[in-house]
Amino acid sequence: MPKNQLDGKTALITGAASGIGKTTAILFAREGASVVLTDINESAGHTVAAEITQLGGRAIFEPGDVTSAAHCQHVAARAVREFGGIHILFNNAGIIRRAAVTELSEADWDRVMAVNVKSMFLMSRQVIPVMASSGGGSIINTASGWGLAGGPRAAVYCASKGAVVLLTKAMAIDHGPQNIRVNCICPGDTDTAMLRNEAQQLGEPRDKFLAESAKRPLGRVGKPEEIAQAALFLASEASSFVTGTALVVDGGGLAGSA
């Protein structure tokens, strides 16, 4: 496997068993990074790690829930033990509940906020001292276009992703002096299992839902590979003077927003 933009780096990726996380893990490994994967889906996570290894890359998978402080501590410690440090953190784990506030249960609110926001706090708290001790690094948080503009029947998701955008900016301010860059990606609708699950949550036919999702200037939904390329840019030296930004990757979906 050729080593390129991430040669010699170690990347920790949450939500790495499927979708954007899986695709990014494979891309980062192709670019020379050793990758530490974590996800609640144990069987799928082991499959991704095995795929990377078969391609000639270096990967380990640690199953668990990123809303647990103990798990985050364990994963970060294993990354250091196995690969000697952490240079890139991709806080990508996320879930969605499509509902207005009057339709949401308290449990759903708490779970979405825990997975989408609290997990980033917990994992970053473990990783930042490791990055700082080795001279810096890059943290990438997965936000959303709905972290910058509201959407229908997505109250807690919008709230959580808006929190990610401002958490990213605050972290960039706090940790810039340690040479740690912190940015977030705001994807538009992307062709993943989570997007299809939204149709089910809303009780809409999948084909109709996907057709509506494609109504943006480029006329289609995104591909996980396109979001992964944005993550690679933010992880690499190509973005060495970029921090505190929300990078919109949405086929023009927000182009008409104020």
29, pLDDT greater than 80: yes
Domains recognised in the chain with CATH numbers: 10-187+224-244 (3.40.50.720), 189-221 (no CATH)
**Cβ(99)–Cβ(155) below 8 Å:** yes
Cα–Cα dist 242/238, whole Å: 9
Task: Dump pLDDT digits (tens) for 154-205.
Answer: 999 999 999 999 999 999 999 999 999 999 999 999 999 899 999 899 999 9
Cα–Cα dist 193/190, whole Å: 9
Q: Average pLDDT of the chain?
A: 96
Of 157, 140, 152, the closest CA to residue 212 belongs to: 152
Place of tokens 């954007």: 20
Cα–Cα dist 209/207, whole Å: 5
Cα–Cα dist 67/119, whole Å: 5
Query: Encoding tokens for residue 29?
Result: 């490994």
pLDDT of amino acid 1:
43
- 124 as an active site residue: the answer is no
Q: Which residues contact 70 (CB under 8 A, 6 or more apart)?
A: none
144, pLDDT greater than 90: yes
257, pLDDT greater than 90: no
pLDDT of amino acid 2:
45
Cα–Cα dist 256/258, whole Å: 7
**What is the mean predicted confidence (pLDDT) over 96-118?**
98
pLDDT of amino acid 110:
98
**What is the mean predicted confidence (pLDDT) over 7-20?**
98
3-state secondary structure (DSSP) of residue 23:
helix
The active-site residue, picked from 157, 199, 222, 228, is: 157
pLDDT band (50, 70, 90) for residue 258: low
Say what the pTM is: 0.96
Q: Are strands 137-142 and 58-63 parallel, antiparallel or unpaired?
A: unpaired
Q: What single letter denotes the amino acid at residue 128?
A: I
Place of tokens 């009057």: 102
